[in-house]
Amino acid sequence: MARTKRSFGTIRRLPSKMYQASYIGPDMARHNAPGTFTARADAEGWIALERRLIEWDEWMPPAQRRAKQLHDDTQTLRTYADTWLPERTAVRGLKPKTVSEYQRYLDRLIYPTLGDMRLKDITPAAVRAWIGKLNARTPRINEHAYALLKTIFATAVQDELLDRNPCRERMRKPVRHIGEPATLDELALLVAAMPERLRLMIELAAWCALRFGEVAELRRGDVDLTSGVIRVSRAVQWVDGKKIVAAPKADSVRVVAFPPHIREAIKEHLRKHAQWGKDGLLFPTTHGEQYRAPTFHHAYFRKAREAAGRPDLRFHDLRHTGATLAAASGATLAELMQRLGHSTVSAALAYQHAAQGSDKRIAAQLSELVAAAASRGFT
């Protein structure tokens, strides 16, 4: 059994491949996690949470803490969820944006109706009544709030605070909106209507199927003109007014081949508009920072899409445009998953053996589509 020494706490890998976490508490006794963990990161999260409780002077032995919780019949959903969220963040490593969204669902949708009810008093009927009060015009938000509530109650069941989860409804999943992709003509008009220093932003979003936060965070060191690829390893986002640079959504770090027909545009942009140095931003604002999506939309993108005759076009639809064009080039589903960075666990297992070299073939065929359209007089 491998044991890893740390400045605080110990993580041991068991013969079962599970991880066991423990630490020496302020009482100088060793305290073990209530269970084992399938991932090392989860064990580290539990230790981090226990250390935080000690630093905040809110610590008591885990066994005593759990026993107190089990016998607390007055605990409301609000008090339980307010503890559940930081624990979940520490154990699962939730991203700041996810934590912010969870807190917003709790504050705006869940707490006003169910927050002050005792856990044991929240019945399936109470949950159904709560669902009935949700705004029917926001089905996706409702679905996410319900999923959060169901997860919180599932943890309460594991903690033996409840016998059964009162969330027993099966909410119909709303149809995901996929915007109409831009045509080659519309894409050309959109690019032409943008300021010169931002035209490549549109082309990379479309031809490489990148998200806004991924494009806004691109730096010189991410562009490899020799190999013809863009390395997507970070994305920028603002959470509660604070800028955060982290791994892309769903940790979809990837290398994307760009179509040869935009190589010269990339070289010209690097020469004229990108910040200098390996860490220089490709698309800096006048203040030298990354663009915020609302600012970019209102100042530039809205006018450009009007000029292109597509007032309905969202920036994210450019990513859908790239996926559609890649599919038209003959890309397989596995190749599309790799190119787009769709990296759920099941997808990663199913498509991890997709050929790496095929992405460059896709990129080359994208340029062939442009050439063919130009020969027919469409661009």
Sign of the CA dihedral with 375 first, then 377, 378, and 379 last: positive
Catalytic residue among 211, 219, 269, 310: 211
Residue closest to 146 by CA, chosen among 159, 163, 165:
165
Q: Looking at residue 328, what is its pLDDT? A: 67
Catalytic residue among 199, 269, 319, 339: 319
CA angle 155, 156, 159 (to 5 degrees): 90
**80 belongs to the catalytic site:** no
Computed over every residue of the chain, the mean pLDDT equals 84
**31 belongs to the catalytic site:** no
pLDDT digits (tens, 9 = 90+) for 29-82: 999 887 788 788 888 888 888 888 888 888 888 877 776 665 666 889 999 999
> What's the CATH code, domain 184-375?
1.10.443.10
Q: Looking at residue 354, what is its pLDDT? A: 36
Residue closest to 193 by CA, chosen among 68, 300, 332:
300
**342 belongs to the catalytic site:** yes
| DSSP assignment string, 191-213 | HHHS-GGGHHHHHHHHHTT--HH
Bridge pairing between strands 242-246 and 19-24: unpaired
Q: Looking at residue 280, what is its pLDDT? A: 96
**211 belongs to the catalytic site:** yes
Q: Looking at residue 180, what is its pLDDT? A: 77
As a whole number of angstroms, the distance between CA 276 and CA 122 comes to 58
CB 363 within 8 A of CB 372: no
Q: What string of pLDDT tens digits covers the 379 residues of the chain? A: 555 556 789 999 888 888 899 999 999 999 988 778 878 888 888 888 888 888 888 888 887 777 666 566 688 999 999 989 988 887 777 888 888 999 999 999 999 999 999 999 999 999 999 999 999 889 889 999 999 999 999 999 888 788 899 999 887 766 555 667 888 899 999 999 999 999 999 999 999 989 999 999 999 999 999 999 999 999 998 888 889 888 888 667 889 999 999 999 999 999 999 999 999 999 999 999 999 999 999 999 999 999 999 999 999 889 888 877 777 666 666 666 666 776 543 433 332 333 344 566 667 777 877 887 777 776 5
As a whole number of angstroms, the distance between CA 131 and CA 226 comes to 55
**146 belongs to the catalytic site:** no
Catalytic residue among 104, 220, 342, 361: 342
CATH 1.10.443.10 in the chain is located at 184-375
Residue closest to 167 by CA, chosen among 145, 185, 196, 139:
145
Catalytic residue among 231, 234, 351, 361: 351
Catalytic residue among 51, 297, 314, 316: 316
Q: Looking at residue 69, what is its pLDDT? A: 64
